[in-house]
Structure 1
Amino acid sequence: MRRMLCPAENLYVAQRSRAVLSCVLDGPVEPAVLAAAFEAVTAEHPTLLTRIVPDGDGHALAPLPAAERPRLRLRTGGAEAYLEEFNTPLPVGGPLTRAVLVSHPGTERHTLVLSIDHVITDGHSAIALLNAVWDRYRELVEGTAVRRAPVTELPGPISALLPAADPEETEKYLRQRVEQIGRHPVALVPFDTDARGEEAPGEAHRIEVRRLLLDAGATARLRERARAEGVSVHALISAVMLLVARRRLEGTGTRVLGCVSPVDLRSRLSPPVPAGRMVAAVTMHLQTLPVAEDTDILELAREAGAGIRDLLDRGDHVREMRIMPSAPQHPALHLGTVIVTNMGVVSGPRLPKGTRLTDVRLVPAREHYFPQAGRSPIMACVTSFDGRLAIEFPHHTACFSRPFMRELRDEVGASLLALAE
């Protein structure tokens, strides 16, 4: 059981990025049963029983030793424990997933934190894995679990499912994209901290997350406004992020900004790729847009939305996937002022009677941040669980400070609420 990583997957090895899912529960949770559920689901995904190893000029997935297979870990704590897990990496050569159940002392509150290497996952498969673990837990608690046939074959990379293409056409598309982006280099938001290594005396820098959460009413009104204006919620949020970023750049007038949007490939391949298949099935699209401090937000949203629609109509999302391996030679291909992901409306876990789900989160993280660069994109990860829209703003405190990110989050929130009203 060994598989070479495709060039696009090899990019994720270098980035060391991962999806971190968490859910907060009130009520009884049986750790031994949850551990059994996690091991059972893991055994049905052969990818989760592998590790990344060097192979020639790239890497491959190879079997994990039995003693190193991922198993549920238990610990006590609260919000700080979540951040500690969020900052715990998945090193190359080790397990590609980690599950930790954090029990809050003196209460029946628990938080499950599930980290998955981006080499083998995207948002859809990460959420599907979390839900599968809780489905199995519920079945074990209720006595309805059934034996499933073991799966031994590793799923192939998503790039192998793309329609055939002429290499010369792909090279031509790459040249066009490099030339296009080169004509309009995007501005990046400067960091507001220095690279001393500590934000305060005795306090080490780390990844943190600022969160914006709308209630169900505001979320519904925002969707209604988007429909009335003929744009998507994703386009509205992208426009808000671009304007908020523009206000944090020096100078007046119009600047060229870039918005990077991950594009889901699962539903756009034939046949579609199931959400439960553990592969990274996204490509990245950068569009450049002129933005001034007084740019009309709805016009900007229409332009951003039209850019995504045109990409899909032309079939360029497939071409973008084919040129992804060229990113190290042409980093500007995916360098945006903002990165706005959007999972759309997704379903959270279903639990056994007596245990209540109070929150679900999906936050991307990576291991390498570069404060010495002086500026970088700002990321906004958008999900909607249980009818509530959430935007997660992960950042490293050596780059963007806590006050900077709190102010940015609050400004985004005020803009979205104004649109909703």
Structure 2
Amino acid sequence: MTTPEITRPLAPSEAMFAGNQLYVGYSVRTSGELDLTALATAYEAVCRTYPVLAARLDTTADGEAVLVTSDIRPTLGVGTGPLDRPLSGVDLDQAHALSGLSVTYDGTEASVTLATHHSVADAYHSFGVLTALWDRYIDTVEGVSATLRRHPYPKSVEQLLAERGIDQLAPAPADPRTAPADAPAAPNSPATEPITFAMARHRLTAAETTALADLGHRERLTINGLLSAALLLAEAEIRRVSLAELIYVYPVNLRTRLTPQIGLTEGTNVLGFAHFQPTTPSADPLTLAREISAGLRAGLAEGLIQRSTLALSDPQAMAQAAAAMSAGAVVMTNWGPVPALRAPAELRLTDFRGTFHAKVAADLPDASLYGGCYLVSTFDGRLSIEIPSTDADPEAGHARIDALRDRLNHLLSRA
């Protein structure tokens, strides 16, 4: 065993997820014969291939979060319970490992959930790892020998931007509602209490997903734009506010928007952030979708979205962002299509879900976390929208999903 070494300090885009030890779970539903020995072997191989998965976080005497190497491999966990909460009871600790793999059984079905710490992997990075995991699983089941290339530790988006000559901070517009003085007070106790979430969900049928895409093609709008419009209209209804009072924030994958392009696992959180605030009271979803899409194009053309992450190193910008979030910003992260995953003939992959695992301070109610963060993904031709449903207010997530379903059905009636 080698002596652990500090690989590098976390950049601001990474350290922001260390305080609450945020892991994101990518959960594949299965039906049929699951070979646990082969799955454990595959996970071990993937952790060797991507050593960041077995690394851990530490804190220096100066309070700086750092990435530390580790020779200890995370192991597969197996249990029983509700499949809509697959990380419940799982022990995830960034001081031990930055990933986890768990299997939760419920009768003849199971959820196989890869959890990655958000400091070292976003969804696109994690999809690359998930694909490698299932590829290695089927190779192991079928007795195929595969040589896997060891990948270096991923770089932060700040480093990737600097390597491409992008190092100027994007100026943030002043907003009196998001002054630093309005930022919420920090909890008095450290984040030590584990919390997992059940996810409220609306899953479109394959026909509805196709119809939504066809509507977008006809109107020259993206599915993301249409979903965003429906989401804002639903949130305005739920909160009983006007559209103009909402602030919409969503991450944008920068991998294909930078030159040279960046591979899935070359970076940690290779994301920019788009912001949109409706300026008109229009309740027409197509009009709203066009405004959102136009804002995205403009932000990318001006380089504002590409440079937006650099604002995370500015304390004043961070205070403004925290205040905006506490004021009720709407957040959606669209993971896009889940990559096609390989499985042996005796095992069917029937569904895909997202989830969160975090640690919170004892004096911070869980209702204040992730309550407005929607996850969007498409698996097997069916689009899915999920939102955490917290124990403090279990009906809130379902109410939001119901409102969003109504708005999407209205859109589909125009398809």
Name stretches of at least 5 consecutive residues in structure 2 with no aligned partner. Answer: 180-193
Distance in 2 of aligned mates of 1:32 and 1:73:
12
Matched, 1:322 2:313: no
What pairs up with 1:175-254 in 2 under 5 angstroms? 177-179=172-174, 181-182=175-176, 207-250=197-240
SS of residue matched to 1:93: coil
On the 8 A contact 2:366/2:390 being kept in 1, the answer is no
Change (3 A) 1:415 1:254: closer
| Superposition TM-score, scaled by structure 1 size | 0.83
Matched, 1:126 2:126: yes
Distance in 2 of aligned mates of 1:76 and 1:377:
26
2:68 corresponds, among 51, 62, 65, to 62
CA-CA distance at 1:259 after TM superposition: 0.6
SS of residue matched to 2:319: coil
Matched, 1:28 2:16: no
The CA RMSD over aligned residues, in Å, is 2.7
SS of residue matched to 2:110: strand
On the 8 A contact 1:243/1:291 being kept in 2, the answer is no
CA-CA distance at 1:218 after TM superposition: 0.3
Distance in 1 of aligned mates of 2:353 and 2:366:
30
Distance in 1 of aligned mates of 2:404 and 2:70:
43
* Counterpart position of 1:190: none
Distance in 2 of aligned mates of 1:376 and 1:255:
22
What pairs up with 1:220-369 in 2 under 5 angstroms? 220-250=210-240, 255-277=244-266, 279-290=268-279, 292=281, 295-326=283-314, 327-332=317-322, 335=325, 337-368=329-360
Matched, 1:17 2:22: yes
- Aligned residues with identical type, % of pairs: 27
Counterpart amino acid of residue 29 in structure 1: L
Q: Deviations over 1:166-194 (max 9, x none)?
A: 6xx52xx33xx141x33789xxxxxxxxx
Counterpart amino acid of residue 147 in structure 2: R
CA-CA distance at 1:331 after TM superposition: 2.5
* Counterpart position of 1:145: 145
CA-CA distance at 1:383 after TM superposition: 0.5
SS of residue matched to 2:154: coil
Name stretches of at least 5 consecutive residues in structure 1 with no aligned partner. Answer: 186-203
* Counterpart position of 2:53: 48
On the 8 A contact 2:389/2:398 being kept in 1, the answer is no
SS of residue matched to 2:87: helix
On the 8 A contact 1:208/1:396 being kept in 2, the answer is yes
On the 8 A contact 2:233/2:407 being kept in 1, the answer is no
2:404 corresponds, among 404, 407, 412, to 412
CA-CA distance at 1:330 after TM superposition: 2.6
Distance in 2 of aligned mates of 1:373 and 1:96:
25
Counterpart amino acid of residue 356 in structure 1: R
Distance in 2 of aligned mates of 1:396 and 1:134:
31
| Superposition TM-score, scaled by structure 2 size | 0.84
On the 8 A contact 1:209/1:393 being kept in 2, the answer is yes
Distance in 2 of aligned mates of 1:205 and 1:133:
26
User: How many correspondences in the alignment?
Assistant: 385
What pairs up with 1:358-397 in 2 under 5 angstroms? 358-368=350-360, 370-371=364-365, 378-397=372-391
CA-CA distance at 1:354 after TM superposition: 1.9
Distance in 1 of aligned mates of 2:13 and 2:229:
28
